[in-house]
Amino acid sequence: MDDPVLRAAYLLVYPVLTRDRQATADLVRNTLGPLERARGGAQPLIDTLSAYFDSGCIAAEAARRLSLSVRALTYRLERIHKLTGSNPADAVHRYTLQTAVIGARLLGWPDNQV
């Protein structure tokens, strides 16, 4: 088996998020909704957050995954902070943003309006 093994406890956030669809939609809309005002729409910034979180919040790794320079990635993170008021580098804000990004994936946002 070459695939990584996931512990069931790591996946518990998904049933919690899907159990209350309306609360998840509210979280996504209120947290990530301001990203729709960005030039190019919300999707590039959602992708930036996903890569940043998936890389353990290491900017150089996230930039590599997105084929961006570190400067471009940090610019996007600053733009996210300005638009949402939530700083991806701050632990409390990061939790909210990351949960909202997971919710957006589950709901298919921003392609499917919630």
Residue 14 resides in a domain: no
Residues of the domain holding 76: 21-107
Domains of the chain: total = 1
Q: Is-above-0.75 flag for pTM?
A: yes
Summarised one tens digit per residue, pLDDT across range 11-41 is: 666 777 778 888 899 999 999 999 999 999 9
Query: What CATH number should be reported for the domain holding residue 61?
Result: 1.10.10.2840
Q: What is the CA radius of gyration of the chain?
A: 14
Nearest to 108 by CA among 13, 9, 30, 18: 18
